[in-house]
Structure 1
Amino acid sequence: MSSHRAFQLKLNPLTGNSEWIVIEDNDESFAQNFHKPFLATTSYLDMLNDSTRNAAFRHAIEKTISKPCHVLDIGAGTGLLSMMAARAMGDEGKVTACESYLPMVKLMKKVLRLNGMEGRVKIINKRSEELQVGLDMPSRAHVLVSEILDSELLGEGLIPTLQHAHDNLLVENAMTVPYRATIYGQLVESTFLWKLHDFHNNEATVSDSIRLTPPGLDSVLGIKRQQYAMHVNPLQEEITLLSEPFKIFEFDFWKRPESYGETELCVKATNDGRVHVVVSWWVLQLDQEGTIYYSTAPRWIRSPTITSPIGWCDHWKQCVWFVPGSGISILQGEEIRLLATHTETSFSYNFDTLVPTTKILNHRCMTGDFQLVLPPERAAIYADKEWRLSMLKAVQSMGKDRLLCLVVDDSAFLPLLVAKLSEASVMSLLPGLRERGLQYLQAVAHANGLSHSCIEVLEKNVQQLNMHDIHQKKVDLLIAEPFYVGHDGMLPWQNLRFWRDRTTLNDILSEDALTIPSKGILRACAMSLPDLWKSRCCLSSIEGFDHSVVNATLGACGHLPELEEGPCLPFFVWQCGEFDVLSETFDVMEFEFSKQICECHGKSQVKFTKRGVCHGFVLWIDWVMDLQNSIVISTGPDRKYWKQGVKLLGTPRTVDPQSLTSVQPCSAVVEACFSPLKGELKIILDFL
């Protein structure tokens, strides 16, 4: 039997170490069990639950493929579009399905088998750029069906994929589904969105003595210049629209696209205000005649071409492009010139009224052409007055008799704060930032009244650190935010890497060493999350094709095999569509950071405070920063800068605080067990 071998990079969130795991194609049970944690966190399930998307593709495929031909499906996933194409052609014609991800290929084979389509669709486990006519395909294809679109449209490689397909895999004048995509934009004012990127001007309002972007070094710390996928609908009440929507680019799938394009637009202001962002979205025309559409437009856009309602989904959002600095002031009726460009994979925007180029160049020269790049939420946290004050109080609470402080995480703020407020020697590990973090601290130390040598960056992993590295002194202050580079998409308790680090370093800590934060509290509340639950619920028939076989692997809610649970997934709850809090906030368990990392168990009963449909529980960690438990930094759902963990129920439950029956429970028990080996949190829910 022939076998294929693939390698998957797996990160242990508590050690920061990555290891390669081997996936054997011929070992069904191993592969099936191994794939679950990876596939359960992908957007496949969310896409397959998007009934508007599925129906639009079905109608367009049935309309486009009217006779037997050769169809190519690129990025085939579970094979849904391939099966639609095969069904549209009847018993004749052929479909070549191209899918590069081996775990998904294995899942597609199960779906095809379940639907009696094994002999109708030929699966090729390659990237489309690797396909060869005469080897993988008998001939060039007459029709291309594909869904390789992200929120930005181009991020999954749409342009190079189409270029290669038109050059090598498709007949001349081939038909395509989709047929065309159009990018639209709108100018917007939003204080919240401004705070996600203009760190320098926001930090200027903070009253402490630390400056992460000192005068003259405005650009030494910032976010990456790119579009960010984000649901803007929840911000509608705090957004001011400053223009009508405008068309930016059009991409025809039926012909070879260009790698680069630019267009200049003249946009008229409809209100007075300050342009903070360009919000953009795309509209997909799936058929040649222009009767079938799909749109990712925000809720406030009304379009005569989109007749069916498009609900919330996680896989496609709007995009925001941040205008540098504090934005551009504009008056109603005034026109502003916008230059839009696209590369093979992204879009960018520039206005002709921005900061002069000479000023930008001066910033780059002064920082040695260097910038510490942070996620937008982290930049907003660093400029947040409340967060900064909490950190300031926490460091002040330690007293001034500490001699050696070790910052174990990737905080750019804490090394400067401790060095400024105490006489302790400050050492920092910066496990994810490394050289970039060192460059940054050197760039801003002098401007904060500190010498270049007052903060030492240790270029070693936690596991390798010894007394020699810290000059034979014991550490008497171990501190973290905690924040680790690369943990943005992880669950809250995976930041307990800080606790693992503290345990690893136990031998170099003094007997009276202080640990900040001193403990973590796992907190939770019950929520109604109809949009999120619908996007993760079990699949049955999708446009006439049975997909029940994918539920367990993709981590669907409900109808799973006995003893199997749906995963706990990281989300910004405020980004999850409609939601409502149904219970008080309650503590599940505590993590004592003064002790060695250990298995923890907690159990709490919570009473519902509102009648409604409970779809799951939201969990997060509040960090207690001092021994007196007076300084607490919450990362709960009312804080938009942190992701929470969401544990969805298999079956939603109607709850009622006044109920006296088990049919509509009035309370629930939440039990949790934390494993220090893999950083996993097992959650058991029981309704009373």
Structure 2
Amino acid sequence: MRSHLQTLTRTVSVVRTLTGGFRPSPKAITRTMSSNSTGLMFQLKLNPITGNSEWIVIEEELDDASPKPMLATTSYLDMLNDSPRNRVYRTAIDKTVSKQCHVLDIGAGTGLLSMMAARAMGVDDDSSPSKGVVTACESYLPMVKLMKKVLRANDMNSKIRVLNKRSDEVEVGVDVASRADVLVSEILDSELLGEGLIPSLQHAHDKLLVENYKTVPYRATTYGQLVESTYLWELHDLYSNEANVADGIHLVPKGKESILRVKPQQFAMHCDAMGEELRLLSEPFKIFEFDFWKRPDSHGETQVHTKATNNGTVHAVISWWVLQLDEEGNIFYSTSPKWINSPSTNNGLSSMYTGTRDWCDHWKQCVWFTKGKGLPVRKDEDVRMDATHTDISISYKFNAQSQTSEVDHSQDSHLTLSPERIAIYGDNNWRQFMLKAINYALKGKESPLCVIADDSVFLSVAVAHISKSSHIIAMFPGLGDKGRQYLQAVADENGYSMDRIQVINTRKQQLTMNDTHQNKVDLLIAEPFYFGAEGMLPWQGLQFWSKRTMIDSMLAEDVCIMPCKGILKACAMSLPDLWRSRCALENIEGFDHTMVNTTLGACGPSSESPCLPFFIWQCGETQKLSDTYTIMEFDFLKPLSSCHGKAKVEFIEAGVCHGFALWIDWVMDSTNDIVMSTGLDQRYWKQGVKLLAEPLKIGPGICSTVIEAHFDSSSGELSVNNR
């Protein structure tokens, strides 16, 4: 599963590396390190204000009193609340583990599948290899500790052997007495392969399993469908969108179309939320089939043939997978979009492949963008597509699509950004908004020294293009030298010389007067945008306040600071699907999980739900229950400081309040005329969500609530509470 990002936690830099199986769990987003000699465990934390990381000591035991940031922001809770998933696994395990044997669980998590297996074969306390044994393999240490609590609470701790290792580190004769007869696992992401499914199965087949072993699940099949969607096109084709903008800025000049792009990969998205913006151009088609019961290949290719069902332009391939959990083919789980589940639109797929499921965030559909403006097709035209899989990903190529002519550039000058960032940079309204703010900031300034305090290549190019006499220092804390190489590569097309642009050393903690040749800073600006923080909470952008504070003594008396203010906004929301996926756990298929609620940050009377980042518009059923309220303001004209604020929120709609959506509006000018919102109407930015401990039914006698926020400038934490 793709895991949520918390403001104080640094994501593992390589998400698609190989933990429970061959992976340091993408379900868990913190990087941890343990020391066997000292008994200590460390966690890598990122201060969202300074941008600096440090290893801190965390509690050895996950007791109820210790902080749980490393697990509260993962997808484990969402996954455990997926009742259809739990049900099909229980049914398949009961059916497959029909006698006492050795069961291996790779990527065991809380131990749910291990407990199902132990119960299915009646393992007792004096189990031996000849009777029955379950080995639970989980490499993520905090989860191992939590699993042991779950096992003890369910009287399973003596029935299941827990290994704190990656599956490829397990040795028969050392860690386990014998090879396993049955493999149970759930090492799947939205793309299917991204959590190291293939390498895990290969190693298990070669080293850990008997011949003719059984497995749950039994097989997985990926399906796809061709779609037309202007929204999806805008998420990747910056060149074509920029060609429709007449502002003179060329982020992707002709002949350099790939210099600023999204990574060529599948992106997990809630496609149901796009609704009528998607136009289907084909029936669903089968792509790959992966059998868990035999050794998979690391590489595979297939050619897909499908007929276009309408005239149009193929902007993307939407894909999903169907999991067959039993050998007979009676138990299935599908990540298909809802239009596949509709009886009237199942497009000939067997009904067993189109079962409904609840909204969940841990498994979505995937989107693969076609090149450029897309592939034009006519109804009944045969469309051929080559599909390729590696050991961790699946990619596509259309035979009929003409290849965009591009000059071969050094890979060093290429920048890969998120689809949402590409769409923002290609949006005409956003660009006009930012150019208006830049012109406002430059007004009356001749030969200004401008510091770009974030990773915005747009601001860097725009200022250099507009102000021919300016000198620019780009801090680029995330892009670093990649940003410098990019600016150099597009300089000629944007009419500036690199003599006027300086990218400071990214390892440099403090900008000094030596960097500015003893000149004061006339203009300090940011979007704000920080590379690598796109999926984090909205107030990650407050890093700009820290940058401004660090160079306070270097600012000119008439310095223009943009943005000059940040406003924390909130709106009461009905979020039934999101709340259900994050609510407190009780009994899961007969096993008590109440002891994990506090650790996993569940919504409930005995646990506190953290603020988490979500695209609200992709969160299933949603409804605004109040107007928008200002909670507090951050004054960037003054140095960084702690602050707090609160607001009385009046409900204007009847319903059930599950929590609050929070975001920041960035005020770019001192007259408050130029305000960039990241709120509910802006689909390219994630909002923060603070869920209530218990849903609040809005009715007679309940017409308002109070929301309060505290910002700690030393840690960068922003805490939100309601009463």
| TM-score between both structures, scaled by the size of structure 2 | 0.91
Aligned equivalent of 1:580: 623
Aligned equivalent of 1:670: 707
Q: For residue 210 of structure 2, what is the amino acid of its counterpart?
A: V
The match for 2:696 among 653, 657, 682 is: 653
Bigger shift: 437-446 or 211-220? 211-220
Aligned equivalent of 1:617: 660
Q: Contact 1:525 / 1:582 at 8 angstroms: preserved in 2?
A: yes
Q: Take 1:45 and 1:202, find their aligned partners in 2: how far apart are those partners?
A: 39
Q: Contact 2:510 / 2:550 at 8 angstroms: preserved in 1?
A: no
Q: Take 2:132 and 2:411, find their aligned partners in 1: how far apart are those partners?
A: 61
SS at match of 2:598: coil
Bigger shift: 304-313 or 234-243? 304-313
Aligned equivalent of 1:378: 421
Q: Take 1:234 and 1:501, find their aligned partners in 2: how far apart are those partners?
A: 37
Distance 1:228 1:28, change over 3 A: closer
Q: Contact 2:298 / 2:390 at 8 angstroms: preserved in 1?
A: yes
Q: For residue 708 of structure 2, what is the amino acid of its counterpart?
A: E
Q: Take 2:132 and 2:65, find their aligned partners in 1: how far apart are those partners?
A: 32
Q: Take 2:584 and 2:353, find their aligned partners in 1: how far apart are those partners?
A: 27
Q: Report 1:36-185 matches (<5 A).
A: 36-90=68-122, 91=124, 92-185=131-224
SS at match of 1:494: helix
Deviation at 1:668, TM superposition (A): 1.5
Deviation at 1:368, TM superposition (A): 6.2
Q: For residue 120 of structure 1, what is the amino acid of its counterpart?
A: K
Q: Report 1:314-393 matches (<5 A).
A: 314-356=361-403, 360=405, 362-365=406-409, 370-393=413-436
Deviation at 1:118, TM superposition (A): 0.8
The match for 2:66 among 33, 47, 72 is: 33
Q: Contact 2:334 / 2:355 at 8 angstroms: preserved in 1?
A: no
Q: Take 1:450 and 1:7, find their aligned partners in 2: how far apart are those partners?
A: 47
Deviation at 1:370, TM superposition (A): 3.5
Deviation at 1:306, TM superposition (A): 4.5
Name the Cα RMSD after superposition: 1.5
Q: Report 1:305-320 matches (<5 A).
A: 305-306=352-353, 308-320=355-367
Q: Contact 1:188 / 1:243 at 8 angstroms: preserved in 2?
A: yes
Q: Contact 1:32 / 1:553 at 8 angstroms: preserved in 2?
A: no
Deviation at 1:462, TM superposition (A): 6.2
Bigger shift: 415-424 or 523-532? 415-424
SS at match of 1:442: helix
Q: Take 2:373 and 2:100, find their aligned partners in 1: how far apart are those partners?
A: 57
Q: For residue 714 of structure 2, what is the amino acid of its counterpart?
A: L
Q: For residue 284 of structure 1, what is the amino acid of its counterpart?
A: L
Aligned equivalent of 2:345: none
- The answer to whether 1:536 aligns with 2:582 is yes
Aligned equivalent of 1:213: 252
- The answer to whether 1:17 aligns with 2:52 is yes
Aligned equivalent of 1:595: 638
Aligned equivalent of 1:416: 461
Q: Take 1:107 and 1:269, find their aligned partners in 2: how far apart are those partners?
A: 50
Deviation at 1:143, TM superposition (A): 0.2
Distance 1:119 1:2, change over 3 A: farther
Aligned equivalent of 2:553: 507
Q: Contact 1:478 / 1:514 at 8 angstroms: preserved in 2?
A: yes
The match for 1:244 among 279, 283, 294 is: 283
Q: For residue 412 of structure 1, what is the amino acid of its counterpart?
A: V
Distance 1:118 1:3, change over 3 A: farther
- Give the aligned length: 670
Q: Take 1:486 and 1:219, find their aligned partners in 2: how far apart are those partners?
A: 20
Identity %: 61
Q: For residue 33 of structure 1, what is the amino acid of its counterpart?
A: S
Which string of whole-angstrom CA distances, capped at 9 and with x for unpartnered residues, describes residues 345-370 of structure 1?
A: 000000112233xx54x4224x6674
Deviation at 1:526, TM superposition (A): 0.5
SS at match of 2:490: helix
Deviation at 1:672, TM superposition (A): 1.1
- The answer to whether 1:428 aligns with 2:474 is yes
Q: Take 2:221 and 2:418, find their aligned partners in 1: how far apart are those partners?
A: 28
Distance 1:344 1:268, change over 3 A: same
Deviation at 1:417, TM superposition (A): 1.0
Deviation at 1:33, TM superposition (A): 2.3
Q: Take 2:38 and 2:101, find their aligned partners in 1: how far apart are those partners?
A: 31
Deviation at 1:7, TM superposition (A): 3.8
Q: Contact 1:446 / 1:452 at 8 angstroms: preserved in 2?
A: no
Which string of whole-angstrom CA distances, capped at 9 and with x for unpartnered residues, describes residues 417-449 of structure 1?
A: 112222321111111111110010000111111
Distance 1:386 1:307, change over 3 A: closer
Which string of whole-angstrom CA distances, capped at 9 and with x for unpartnered residues, describes residues 367-409 of structure 1?
A: 6674111111001101111111111111111204152100010
Deviation at 1:671, TM superposition (A): 1.2
Which string of whole-angstrom CA distances, capped at 9 and with x for unpartnered residues, describes residues 7-37 of structure 1?
A: 4322111111111234564x555x9724x11
SS at match of 1:553: helix
Deviation at 1:6, TM superposition (A): 4.3
Q: For residue 572 of structure 1, what is the amino acid of its counterpart?
A: F
Aligned equivalent of 1:267: 306
| TM-score between both structures, scaled by the size of structure 1 | 0.95
- The answer to whether 1:520 aligns with 2:552 is no
Q: For residue 85 of structure 1, what is the amino acid of its counterpart?
A: A
The match for 1:493 among 514, 535, 539 is: 539
Q: For residue 550 of structure 2, what is the amino acid of its counterpart?
A: T
- The answer to whether 1:230 aligns with 2:262 is no
Q: Contact 2:338 / 2:356 at 8 angstroms: preserved in 1?
A: no
Bigger shift: 255-264 or 401-410? 401-410
Deviation at 1:307, TM superposition (A): 6.9
Bigger shift: 248-257 or 12-21? 12-21
Distance 1:37 1:548, change over 3 A: same
Q: For residue 71 of structure 2, what is the amino acid of its counterpart?
A: L
Deviation at 1:207, TM superposition (A): 2.1
The match for 2:228 among 189, 213, 221 is: 189
Q: Contact 2:539 / 2:663 at 8 angstroms: preserved in 1?
A: yes
Q: For residue 401 of structure 1, what is the amino acid of its counterpart?
A: K
Q: Is there any run of 5+ residues in structure 1 with no aligned partner, and where? A: none
